[in-house]
Structure 1
Amino acid sequence: MKNLFVSGHRACAGCGMAIAVKLILEAAGEDVIVVSPTGCLEIVSSPYPETSWRVPWIHSLFENAASVASGIEAGLKALGRKHEAKVLAIAGDGATADIGMGPLSGMFERGHDITYICYDNEAYMNTGVQRSSMTPPGASATTSPAGKVSFGEIHPKKDLASIAVAHGVGYVATASVGYGLDLMRKVRRAIDHDGPSFIHLHTSCCTGWRHPSSKTIEISRLAVLTGLWPLYEVVDGEITDVKRLPKRLPVEDYLKTQGRFSHLFRMEGGEEIIRRIQAIADANAERFGLDLEG
């Protein structure tokens, strides 16, 4: 298999995003045009005059990857060349869930044949680990720091998959860099789908999450195994596949691996925040039927 995202990029050792992009392109193949907005992926993969991309790739503004991808797809259609390449947008959580939400909604509503993948490392990692609307409760970020009067982020993560489903997107899935074969299978399904498709991809950031670079895959899997990041697919509005868990782990097993949650284990009142995070995992288990036991 030809490597379409080659070594030499500037990503951190153990970067979940870089691992994920390599898997995405391996699944998608050469006949794609990729759009990426400003963010970690653009910065590490394209320092002039070098590039790690071995497919056509376009850098958009921070907020408009979906708009640029829409224009490419419409242009291919107008030229009668739609069969030559699939359009793929790969963007971070800030560029998707925050400043890119309007263009993404428009792309969904117009029905462009685009696969949009949000790599969610749960903060604006490229500009200094500022919180985004995808930063999980209890996590400490530079703009939602833990301290004497705060336990870090207080707002829940935005449910991007449900937003896509509400737009009538025919194929929606969640994925994790910790489960590479599952990710690749979902990318192929998304690309084969006619019309807009959306994948919400959980990607660990060893710098922002503050964990050893060797633990990227292990920690990413823990998010799934605790129920904090359920893996599922939605086809035409119906949940069709869920990764069920023989024995769901307590959220502490995931939280204690990362410096961004370390304050919860040493600050008075941290136990209550951990209980609230456990409640999120329990609600996910109930909603998606994650538990094989009981």
Structure 2
Amino acid sequence: MNIRTMPQVDHLLSGHGACAGCGMAVAVKNIMRILGENTTVYVPASCLLVCSGMYPHSAFDVPFFYSAFENTGAVISGIKAGYRRQGKDVTVIGIAGDGGTFDIGLQALAGAAERNEDVIYVCVDNEAYMNTGTQRSGSTPFGAWTTTTPVGKKIKGKRQFKKDLMAVITSQDVPYAATLSIAHMNDFVMKVEKAKNKKGFRFLHIMTPCTSGWKTDPSITYDLANLAVETGMWSLYEIEDGETRITYRPKEMTPVSEYLKLQGRFRHMGKEDIETLQAWICKKWKKRYCPTNPETERTEEELAYNGDHCEGV
């Protein structure tokens, strides 16, 4: 399946309340097209819950549940157990934001992953608690303005780097985990279809630009998602049964400043902070390409890869 052959039947219907240019809405709409009608959706407190409709209304035309902020991993485990008891083979998916995944819901998520529950967990990551007014989360990048990481004379935005959530999840040997981007839709479709067809715990982590929280023009959502990948701020890979595969490598790494300058949340960043963030990106890429075991050989493609702004990768 690819973007041309994927089903075009929507299960997240028009009329929902997402903002113009919302990356989350694009991601969820296409996920639901791929998963199809034999799907049950759970959404915790989040932008998606508010914009898709509160009980008794819903923009989903499949069974839809919601509960507390921190409960996604537990609730989807219970829903799946109920269907199993009834002898029904239904795809159960939980769709949570970064706040409900990186922070508040991490305990229930880790439990579901450790038990290898037969569910799909999707994190739609807009890098802050956007639904409640743009507070920082464990996903918020270094330097970003939020209402809880304001810009002052001495401290300018968030001082910590984004949590490596994929490392946390895959430390529990789940069958499948992948990162996705709405700017790379063939890769997106392939990974969602793969998650649909596998059994056990599957984790999909999707960067979803947020026009209001990132302070950007709604018309450049795709460009932001693409630049995140081209600068290395967001990397595309999958870990299937313990094997890691990079699914896209930028031919030449674009300077991260090109990504930052389009977003109001980074407009205060000076040269020193931009260089700090660029160094973090390069370190992350080197770690991904260089094996932990020095006796492990890298492929010719990996050895040949060298981004202009990450010399020596």
Tell me the TM-score normalized by structure 1. Answer: 0.94
In the alignment, structure 1 residue 286 sits paired with structure 2 residue 282: no
How far off is 1:139 after superposition? 0.3
Cα distance in 2 for residues equivalent to 1:192 and 1:283: 34
The percent identity for this pair of structures is 44
Cα distance in 1 for residues equivalent to 2:185 and 2:158: 29
Q: Which runs of 5+ in 1 are unaligned?
A: 265-269
Cα distance in 2 for residues equivalent to 1:220 and 1:93: 16
Cα distance in 1 for residues equivalent to 2:246 and 2:112: 25
Cα distance in 2 for residues equivalent to 1:36 and 1:47: 11
Q: Is the 8 A contact 1:169 1:197 kept in 2?
A: yes
Which amino acid letter does the alignment assign opposite residue 120 of structure 1? D
1:92 paired residue among 83, 86, 97: 97
CA RMSD, aligned part only?
1.4
Q: Is the 8 A contact 2:187 2:247 kept in 1?
A: no
Structure having the larger proportion of residues in helix: 1
Q: Deviations over 1:78-128 (max 9, x none)?
A: 2211x2x11111100000110100100110111110010101100000000
1:229 paired residue among 219, 224, 234: 234
Residue number in structure 1 paired with 2:293 = none
Cα distance in 2 for residues equivalent to 1:156 and 1:207: 21
Cα distance in 2 for residues equivalent to 1:60 and 1:292: 45
Q: Is the 8 A contact 1:37 1:64 kept in 2?
A: yes
1:248 paired residue among 220, 239, 253: 253
In the alignment, structure 1 residue 215 sits paired with structure 2 residue 220: yes
Residue number in structure 1 paired with 2:41 = 34
Cα distance in 2 for residues equivalent to 1:50 and 1:72: 20
Q: Is the 8 A contact 1:228 1:284 kept in 2?
A: no
Which amino acid letter does the alignment assign opposite residue 157 of structure 1? K
Residue number in structure 2 paired with 1:267 = none
Residue number in structure 2 paired with 1:148 = 153
What SS does the corresponding residue of 2:81 show, helix, strand or coil?
helix
Q: Deviations over 1:122-177 (max 9, x none)?
A: 00000000000100000000000112121100111111111111011110101112
Q: Is the 8 A contact 1:139 1:260 kept in 2?
A: yes
Which amino acid letter does the alignment assign opposite residue 272 of structure 1? E
- Which deviates more from structure 2 when the two are superposed, residues 13-22 or residues 147-156? 147-156
In the alignment, structure 1 residue 120 sits paired with structure 2 residue 125: yes
Q: Deviations over 1:47-84 (max 9, x none)?
A: 45432101111112111011110001111112211x2x
Residue number in structure 2 paired with 1:206 = 211
Residue number in structure 1 paired with 2:12 = 5
Which amino acid letter does the alignment assign opposite residue 188 of structure 2? L
Q: Is the 8 A contact 1:39 1:92 kept in 2?
A: yes
Residue number in structure 1 paired with 2:273 = 273
Aligned pairs, number: 287
Q: Is the 8 A contact 2:176 2:240 kept in 1?
A: yes
Which amino acid letter does the alignment assign opposite residue 168 of structure 2? I
Which amino acid letter does the alignment assign opposite residue 185 of structure 2? G
Cα distance in 1 for residues equivalent to 2:44 and 2:54: 14
Which amino acid letter does the alignment assign opposite residue 277 of structure 2? I
Residue number in structure 1 paired with 2:108 = 103
Residue number in structure 2 paired with 1:61 = 68
